[in-house]
Structure 1
Amino acid sequence: MDYLLENKRKSNFSKKILLAAALTALLVFVIKRPPVISPSTKFSEHEPGVTHVLVTGGAGYIGSHAVLRLLKDSYRVTIVDNLSRGNMGAVKILQELYPEPGRLQFIYADLGDAQAVNRVFSENAFDAVMHFAAVAYVGESTVEPLRYYHNITSNTLQIVKAMSAHGVKTLIYSSTCATYGEPEKMPITENTPQVPINPYGKAKKMAEDIIIDFSKTSDMAVMILRYFNVIGSDPLGRLGESPRPELREQGRISGACFDAARGIIPGLKVRGIDYKTADGTCVRDYIDVTDLIDAHVKALAHAKPSKVGIYNVGTGKGSSVREFVEACKKATGVDIKVEYLSRRAGDYAEVYSDPSKINIELNWTATYTNLQQSLTTAWKWQKAHLNGYET
């Protein structure tokens, strides 16, 4: 009898182990399988009079502002983002603003996963792609170059291949002035030689080359926008910039200024005061995010089959880092402590644009050109969102 009971106990124990193993295997499958996309005929079928735009990186700072503008202009939008740099809080705000069926959907996917990218394209009917998704810090790129070539260059190749396979004919590529490197002459025009000096700029230029070379063999409509240093936020205070805490050291100078003004960091670190500029600090062309997105939307409207448009998106004037810091002090009302350090690897002295081409061909002109005003708008969002989108 004891022998039978012991066998029964062992049998039950074995069944429990098998059940646990089965559940574990199922959980691993669910985690690893490609993203599930909720079926919707509004997103999976082309609709006359409605342009469906895939926005990669649409949960990020710039991408989320692009989604907001596209929705405002009655586009249908699908966001694809792996949230490595983006913020689901921004997506939730966009969903709350435009809850109507068929307006906006979010898909969690990594553009480095070819299977996931193909599935996104096969289950949705896109008319155009705005490709923002990218890691985008110069300093970080010099430390992690392979990450940048994979995330920017390789992932762009995946997007172009998927567009080709699924017949999506319009691409708006969000590029950067970093592809120019440090030109001998200012201002920078679209004909300025591209000689990037850091992995970020090199990876972006390679991505441009992929797009341009492919366009020569297809009837794809391509617009490449090379923009400068982005600042500001949504004028109505709905969206802003909320980088992850671990990226603060790599982030934009505006974010660092605000962190210093809020006391999150003891002061602002300015890297490089011995450049060949008027005050020794770097000179940059600061473009407000609202103007930048307006340029992308105009590029989408003007995109033509078998044509490649390349445009600089900037204000046409440069401001030094010292000038930027003074404007930030006035915008925040805080006398920010400044520490001057040695140069950062991969940086360049002076970069600003000649926006004549985009002014003439796309009828685009920067309107938010007051540095202090743009910073004031962004500061208001920061003060209202002390914990980022968590509030």
Structure 2
Amino acid sequence: MAAHGVKTLIYSSTCATYGEPEKMPITEETPQVPINPYGKAKKMAEDIILDFSKRSDMAVMILRYFNVIGSDPEGRLGESPRPELREHGRISGACFDAALGVIPGLKVKGTDYATADGTCIRDYIDVTDLVDAHVKALEKAEARKVGIYNVGTGKGRSVKEFVRACKEATGVDIKVDYFDRRPGDYAEVYSDPTKINRELNWTAQHTDLLDSLRIAWRWQKSHRSGYGPPLAMVL
């Protein structure tokens, strides 16, 4: 990137770099102790970027996403992972696939976590807010400086709460099966967005979980074959 004249880098990192923190909410100072390969790989990339920045004039912003949901409210963009990634994708995608009949039901892994209802708690950030965070990071990026920010709402919601909202958003009584924990999952993570609010003047605006899911469901229903040709044309 430097050899080709790139002057600004906005890196998509993740809250998974924190692993299983001892206390909530997560700040940018929370120790990074990832417990799964995804979090370890992202932290490795962060470390490489930070090392490089010490001898570069590149402007760097590292954004640690929490759990992204939603679609463009105007219907232009939505979530459409490649087929081989769907099974291990986001819970929102799995809920919609179950509602559409693409899969027989939703698999929830882990009901014995130390949370109110036994399922994992996550901070769900709407993709529209995530886009806004990138715009503000670009505006504030400065040469020879590194900014590191959590991008989340500051509120945690359980998997069971998410599934209830997805059922209401789709109007489908999605079949749910419960299984043992998945290795590498942590019980609870949610953000403290104080720093990004103070330094980038960013605050999540789309924090109504049901509303975000309704918008995403509208896109899914009208794009059953993703960004490709309609299913009938494929057949």
Q: TM-score, normalised by structure 2?
A: 0.96
1:157-236 counterparts in 2 under 5 A? 163-236=1-74
Q: Distance in 2 between matches of 1:389 and 1:186?
A: 38
Pairwise CA distance, 1:164: 2.1
Q: Distance in 2 between matches of 1:247 and 1:267?
A: 17
Aligned to 1:131: none
Residue type at the aligned position of 2:141? A
Matched, 1:378 2:212: no
Q: Distance in 2 between matches of 1:212 and 1:275?
A: 34
Indicate the RMSD between aligned Cα atoms, in angstroms. Answer: 0.8
Residue type at the aligned position of 1:227? Y
- Give the secondary-structure state (helix, strand or coil) at the position aligned to 1:166: coil
Residues 124-157 of structure 1, C-alpha deviations (whole Å, 9 max, x = no match): xxxxxxxxxxxxxxxxxxxxxxxxxxxxxxxxxx
Residues 320-371 of structure 1, C-alpha deviations (whole Å, 9 max, x = no match): 0000000000000011111000011111000000000000100001000011
- Give the secondary-structure state (helix, strand or coil) at the position aligned to 1:165: coil
Aligned to 1:289: 127
Q: Distance in 2 between matches of 1:256 and 1:167?
A: 40
Residue type at the aligned position of 2:182? R
1:227-306 counterparts in 2 under 5 A? 227-306=65-144
Q: Distance in 2 between matches of 1:168 and 1:384?
A: 38
Higher mean C-alpha displacement, 245-254 vs 175-184: 245-254
Aligned to 2:185: 347
Residues 35-66 of structure 1, C-alpha deviations (whole Å, 9 max, x = no match): xxxxxxxxxxxxxxxxxxxxxxxxxxxxxxxx
1:1-391 counterparts in 2 under 5 A? 163-390=1-228, 391=230
Residues 274-312 of structure 1, C-alpha deviations (whole Å, 9 max, x = no match): 000010000000000010011011101100111100000
Q: Show structure 1 runs of 4+ deviating over 3 A.
A: none
Residue type at the aligned position of 1:172? I
The alignment covers a number of residue pairs equal to 229
- Give the secondary-structure state (helix, strand or coil) at the position aligned to 2:143: coil
Residue type at the aligned position of 2:10? I
Q: Distance in 1 between matches of 2:143 and 2:94?
A: 42
Q: Distance in 2 between matches of 1:208 and 1:226?
A: 10
- Give the secondary-structure state (helix, strand or coil) at the position aligned to 2:63: strand
- Give the secondary-structure state (helix, strand or coil) at the position aligned to 1:351: coil
Higher helix share: 1
Pairwise CA distance, 1:266: 1.3
Q: Distance in 1 between matches of 2:163 and 2:109?
A: 13
Pairwise CA distance, 1:242: 1.1
Q: Distance in 2 between matches of 1:218 and 1:267?
A: 50
Structure 1's unaligned 5+ residue stretches are 1-162
Pairwise CA distance, 1:265: 1.3
Q: Distance in 2 between matches of 1:168 and 1:270?
A: 42
Q: Distance in 2 between matches of 1:271 and 1:231?
A: 19
Residue type at the aligned position of 1:252? R
Pairwise CA distance, 1:247: 2.0
Residues 58-100 of structure 1, C-alpha deviations (whole Å, 9 max, x = no match): xxxxxxxxxxxxxxxxxxxxxxxxxxxxxxxxxxxxxxxxxxx
Aligned to 1:127: none
Pairwise CA distance, 1:208: 0.4
Q: Distance in 1 between matches of 2:196 and 2:8?
A: 18
Aligned to 1:17: none
- Give the secondary-structure state (helix, strand or coil) at the position aligned to 1:242: coil
Residue type at the aligned position of 1:270? V
**Structure number, greater radius of gyration:** 1
Residue type at the aligned position of 1:289? V
